[in-house]
Amino acid sequence: MCLGIPAKIVNVDQEKQGEVDYLGTRVKASFLFLDSPQVGDWVIIHAGFAISRLDEEEAQETLALLREITEAEGR
């Protein structure tokens, strides 16, 4: 079964249906479960539905934590 994949919204219509792009491949997706989906939003796609947005700030924080640990263990 498909993992939830982070992908970018490339188009969305009035009925909250549209497409996402992931590494240059586009797939039809439904944004029924998102509040005001916009082109350019990063979302998690699972079985053709976006189940959540990707929060950029939190993503950076997770990466920062990762880098911190990598550095600490590198010493």
Smallest distance from the beta carbon of 6 to another protein, in angstroms?
7
Phi, psi of 72 (to 5 degrees): -60, -40
Q: Where on the chain is the footprint of another protein (CB under 8 A)?
A: 1-7, 19, 22-28, 30, 32-35, 44-49, 51-56, 58-59, 61-63, 65-67, 69-70, 72-74
Give the Cα separation of 47 and 40 in Å (integer). 20
Smallest distance from the beta carbon of 50 to another protein, in angstroms?
10
Task: Collect all residues with Cβ–Cβ distance below 8 Å to 42 and sequence separation of at least 6.
Answer: 6, 7, 8, 9, 53, 54, 56
Smallest distance from the beta carbon of 21 to another protein, in angstroms?
8
